[in-house]
Structure 1
Amino acid sequence: MESNQQIFGIRAVIEAINSGKSIDKVFMQKGLKGDLSNELEQLLRQEGISTSYVPIEKLNRLTNKNHQGVIAQIAPVEFNNLDDLVLEVIESGKLPLFLILDQISDVRNFGAIIRTAECTGVSGIIVAKKGGAPLNADAVKTSAGAIFKIPICKVDHIKDAIYHMQASGIKVIAATEKAKQTIYDLELKEPCAIVMGSEGFGINPSVLKIVDDQAKLPMIGTIASLNVSVACGVILYEALRQRL
């Protein structure tokens, strides 16, 4: 069965996925057995849908319906195809500015980033199918509705998205404290994509190896880093300042 934001029941979730429903995340009861649950697990792996295995108490808190050990969260937006979006932006004649989020896990940070991205004219946001914050009601609220106004793409691997950007003539810049130069030293009046890393671990080292450039924000206080949504806002507004 289905509510406004959830689909519950094994068969219902399988049918939703097969019909092309935009599923953001699936919660499955730990230790769930049976042919139908095995079929669902195989489908989730095949489609690359983020899955969390949780105790039944967690599922009972999410809904009082007969969930059969499975609840799927419906994404509030339809995701864009990355290839189509990049081509559309380039052909529009607008100067591309993409945002790539590498495992941002806090849903409120995610929503705040989406809001700032829309305000600064970001062409689209790219996230991985697995491991990131869900696009749920909290993300919608924190984004102040911006989530419905900016294209969002989900990809299997962040590195593949970066390679595609580079092949399309878009420079990829990683925001990292490991950089020697600051964001203010970079030329951002060219097609570019900014990579922001997770709250706890930053950008994956394998991602840092393939980007075109790295930049940091200057810090003169005693705190080691900024909140990722704040840092993202500073960087996007520097890009906007240069482009105005």
Structure 2
Amino acid sequence: MPVKKSSLIIGRQPLLEALETGRPIDKILFQKNISGEAIAEIRQHAREKNIPIQLVPQEKLHGMTRANHQGVIAFAALVQYMDLQQVIDHVVSKGEVPLFVMLDGVTDVRNIGAIARSALCCGAQALIIPDKGVGALNEEAMKSSAGALEHIHVCRVNSLLKAVDTLHLNGIQVFTSEMRADKKVFDLTFNDPCCVIMGDEGKGVQPYLAKAADAFFTIPMATKFDSFNVSVATGIILYEAMKQRLHSS
């Protein structure tokens, strides 16, 4: 998908100004071996805001714009990323029971958009994504979400494992699917604060992250044909959560 010119921030000073004003940034591209005072400031902002930085050849930057990029191009984000703890506090202060979705290695932006749409429809309040290894929340993701990505909290973190720790510290249980699990999705209790980790369709949730989960479950299928698409599976899980919460209210 071609990059819209309006989504690019080109040059050192324009990027610094965008960072200082709090404009959300998806990713920063640096020309290899770049240096300078402004670059150091940009790196500092990126660390504080969990913005991924990628080192690329000069030719790549030349291919993206004819403007004087000074070795720096950034992608402006279409969503405002939120701090996980602040979102938890906000949800709880509203008297709501947290229902979050964490994405591990989901790279197809259409799946991410569809997951956001299902999440919002089923009452989930937040998506938790890593700063690397996940599809960009670009125009295609926004379109696939039917605008849901503008209305659900999106938390970008530099470590999913640390995010799980934060969830646990706040009394939020973490569930993930496992093909060999004894429990079915409808055996879980979704009435309590919880977060569901959804992984890449091929590799699933990374082992180190799965070990941190509180419970494993599987989604029953009528046939042995492959498995559900990740966005469909997420929709099934979240619908079960919504059904339980509606029945208990």
Output the TM-score relative to the length of structure 1: 0.87
Give 1:219 shift.
3.2
Question: Residue in 2 aligned with 1:126?
Answer: 128
- After superposition, residues 1-244 of structure 1 pair within 5 angstroms as 4-29=6-31, 31-35=32-36, 39=40, 42-43=43-44, 46-47=47-48, 48-55=50-57, 58-60=60-62, 62-244=64-246
Structure 2 residue identity aligned to 1:76: L
Aligned letter for 1:187? T
Look up the SS of the partner of 2:81 in the other structure. Answer: coil
Farther off after superposition, 102-111 or 228-237: 102-111
Supply the AA of the counterpart residue of 2:44. Answer: L
Distance 1:62 1:202, change over 3 A: farther
Question: 5+ residue gaps in structure 1?
Answer: none
Output the CA distance in 2 between the equivalents of 1:184 and 1:80: 30
Q: Cα distance, 1:187 vs. partner?
A: 1.7
Q: What is the CA–CA distance in structure 2 between the aligned matches of 1:44 and 1:132, rounded to whole Å?
A: 21
Q: Which amino acid aligns with 1:127?
A: I
Closer/same/farther in 2, CA of residues 78 and 41 from structure 1, 3 Å limit = closer
Q: 1:222 offset after TM fit, Å?
A: 4.1
In structure 2, the CA distance between the partners of 1:40 and 1:149, relative to structure 1 (3 Å rule), is same
Aligned to 1:4, the other structure's residue is in SS state helix
Sort the Cα spacing of 1:143 and 1:33 in 2 relative to 1 into closer, same or farther, 3 A.
same
Shift in Å at residue 218 of structure 1?
1.8
Q: Tell me the percent identity.
A: 38
- Give the superposed CA RMSD: 2.5
C-alpha displacement of 1:55: 4.7
Secondary structure, aligned partner of 2:26? strand
Q: 1:162 to 1:237 in 2, by over 3 A?
A: same
